[in-house]
Structure 1
Amino acid sequence: MHRSDRPRKSFEGVSTLAFAALLAGNIALAFGPLFVRLAETDSHVGPVASAFWRLALAAPLLLLLTRVTGQRVGRVGWAMAAAIGLGGLFFAADLGTWHLGILKTKLANATLLGNSASLIFPLYGFLVARAWPSLGQGLALLLATIGGALLLGRSYELSHENLVGDLLCLLAGILYTFYLIAIDRARASLQAWPVLALSTIAGILPLCVFARILGETIWPETWGPLIGLALCSQLIGQGLLVYAMGHVPPLVTGLAFLTQPVVAAAIGWGMYGETLAPLDWIGAALIAFAMVLVRRPAASPVPPAD
């Protein structure tokens, strides 16, 4: 690498370029719920159908990136194909459930609860290592439980539909955890871009089937929101995170994640008049702090879900 190509360093040895990519990736992901709503109101497709187009439109570009970066797919054995296929199925279930939840709750709640895998995935690590969580990780799980209870309680007070939306987003976070477990197995043999591209392709058909079963309109009247969803969430957001996570410590990743609910809350307030009461802010802050606390330096970083 030439000297001019090296990322310039900022605080704590984190490069300016990597940190900027991390921040931009989280901001891009925070716009995902907005595009899901616009897909319903402007494109007139259902939430699961918008998830289908998110993957279908992004897949060719992700395959192109595998070639540009030199991370070619190569030969995939049966065991690897099964892991990626299972991961794609869970990813499809995660996205479909999350998109359904987005239309029934606040954007900030959808962003926070949809990323609950950041807290749940470490539990899988504890089971594999057959070890108890550390004091800090146990505290993180406790804070997240309290914060989640506050958000769910507030949603129940507002309306039954809001509570259903929150529960759907929470379920999406659990499903995303299973996706991460499958992808964690695949990453043992494949590089990041091929895994992301193949799991994206594997999720396309299940989402199309789910949308058909639910009787949703699949073909859009306008493409703008769906292209924005594919570019912001699946390509730019995930792509920048894939790059940044090879250069940024997990704690910094956790701190940067805090931009997602803030940006989503600002979008919800500006476009839909969604406001957060003091208890909402307290619950969101507890969950956000827990997500930072659980990312100990030795842990593998978990990319924000959507």
Structure 2
Amino acid sequence: MPPDTDGATLARERAAHDGPAAAPLLALLGSMVSTYVGAAIAKHLFPQVGSQGVTALRVGLAACLLLAWFRPWRRPLARAHVPDLLVYGAMLGCMNLLIYGAFARIPIGIAVAIEVTGPLLVVLAGSRRIGDFAWLACAVLGLWLLLPVHAHAAALDPLGVLLAGGAALCWAMYIVFGKRVSALQGGQAVAWGMLAAVLFTVPVGVFHAGAALLAPGVLAAGLGVALLSSALPYSLEMTALKRLPRRVFGLVVSASPAVSALAGWLVLGERLAPLQWLAIVLVMLASAGSALTAATVEK
């Protein structure tokens, strides 16, 4: 076969494997919209079963859906992947518990603006460029405007702020270990990871809410939250993680605070002050800018 034909064949095979360039970006955007619309709906359940109970429903039902859909046991799982899957699932479960606890105490948009600093840390962790310190300063300024540490800041529940900060650390670890297991085939990573997350979330939720979790209305609403906030978005995220560099992932995720704030406003009527919106924009700018400059250097 002539050399140019070989090259054309390889190009076609690569294109078939990679697919449209926009597909992973659209998958990640769809994941964010689904997650925060589901989170806004979930907040309506907090008075009945608490944030811990809603987390248990979300993760537990999502695990059942993902296991039934992907049936990951059909493919052998290498023993070397097990530790990474366990950490990935643990971070997934802890992140859900912490951020839902934050949602119960502070507006969703503010909680996510704090949480998104986790992906920002992932982007900046390996950088030594002077310009990245400007993005870090931008993020710090945004958080300073957001948090109740100056006279013009709105009052926020301190525990809610701490929970959102813990979720940020878990999100950073989720990205790191999610990238490690994203090469697994057939939805294995997200299905096994969600099952691992069940071990950390369901016992807490059952201890807190008990039999109230089994009420038909609560179960039905929990199923909707599981679909919107876990099963669908984590599947889409894993698709994106397979084909997006870690820093590009962080760039797209920088829109999370705006998406979540809009979901909180549309579904829950949560209105943020102009200074809070400015703070959110600064955090988004820091996350997007650092990811964009990092991706440019990689090229």
Q: TM-score range by the shorter chain?
A: 0.7 to 0.9
In 2, Cα distance between the equivalents of 1:27 and 1:144?
A: 23
- Match for 1:74 among 73, 76, 86? 76
Please show how residues 1-306 of structure 1 align to structure 2 within 5 Å. 14-15=21-22, 17-41=23-47, 44-66=48-70, 73-77=75-79, 79-122=80-123, 125-126=125-126, 132-153=127-148, 157-161=153-157, 163-187=158-182, 190-191=184-185, 193-214=187-208, 217-222=212-217, 223-246=219-242, 253-254=249-250, 256-257=252-253, 259-295=255-291, 296-297=294-295
Give the residue type in structure 2 aligned to 1:200. M
1:82-101 deviations in Å (ceiling 9; x for gaps): 33223322322221111111
Q: Which deviates more, 253-262 or 221-230?
A: 253-262
Distance 1:83 1:168 in 2: 24
**Which residue type is aligned with residue 36 of structure 1?**
A
For 2:32, the aligned partner's letter is: N
> Across the two proteins, how many residue pairs are aligned to each other?
282
SS of structure 1 residue aligned to 2:147? helix
- Structure 1: runs of 5+ lacking an equivalent: 127-131, 301-306
| Separation (CA, whole Å) in 2 of partners of 1:22 and 1:52 | 24
Contact 2:113–2:283, Cα closer than 8 Å, also in 1: yes
- In the TM superposition, residue 117 of structure 1 has moved relative to its aligned partner by 1.8
239-248 or 143-152, which deviates more: 239-248
> What's the C-alpha RMSD, in Å, of the aligned pairs?
3.5
Structure 1 residues 267 and 53, CA, compared in 2 at 3 Å: closer, same or farther?
Answer: same
Counterpart in 2 of 1:304? none
Query: Post-superposition shift, 1:60?
Result: 3.3
* TM-score where L is the length of structure 2: 0.78
Structure 2: which 5+ residue stretches go unaligned?
A: 1-11
Deviation at 1:261, TM superposition (A): 2.7
Amino acid aligned to 1:103: A
**2:224 partner SS:** helix
Whole-angstrom CA distance in 2 between matches of 1:155 and 1:29: 32
Task: State the Cα distance separating 1:191 from its structure 2 match.
Answer: 4.3
Q: Distance in 2 between matches of 1:180 and 1:255?
A: 13
What per-residue deviation string (whole Å, max 9, x for no partner) do you get for residues 206-233 of structure 1?
Answer: 2122224546653344133312221112
Q: Which amino acid aligns with 2:52?
A: V
Q: Is the 8 A contact 1:36 1:102 kept in 2?
A: no
Q: CA deviation at 1:62?
A: 2.2
Change (3 A) 1:47 1:269: same
Secondary structure in 1 matching 2:105 = coil
Q: Are the aligned partners of 2:28 and 2:252 in contact in 1 as well (CA < 8 Å)?
A: yes
Which amino acid is 1:165 matched to? Answer: G
**Does structure 2 conserve the Cα–Cα contact (< 8 Å) formed by 1:136 and 1:293?**
no
Q: Is the 8 A contact 1:45 1:220 kept in 2?
A: no
8 Å Cα contact 2:123/2:247 also seen in 1: no
Deviations 1:64-99 (A, max 9, x none): 4545xx99541332x532332233223222211111
Which amino acid in 1 is paired with 2:40? L
TM-score (norm 1): 0.76
Contact 2:43 2:104 in 1 (8 A): yes
Shift of 1:180: 3.6
Q: Deviations over 1:263-306 (max 9, x none)?
A: 33233334443222222111101110111122222799xxxxxx
What per-residue deviation string (whole Å, max 9, x for no partner) do you get for residues 151-195 of structure 1?
11279954352x3212211211112323344444445x7348212
Q: CA separation in 2, counterparts of 1:215 and 1:235?
A: 22
Moved more, 190-199 or 103-112: 190-199
Residue in structure 1 matched with residue 5 of structure 2 by the alignment: none
What is the percentage of aligned positions where both structures have the same residue? 22
- Partners of 2:32 and 2:168 in 1: how far apart? 17
Highest Rg: 1 or 2?
2
Gap change, CA 1:120 and 1:71, over 3 Å in 2 = farther
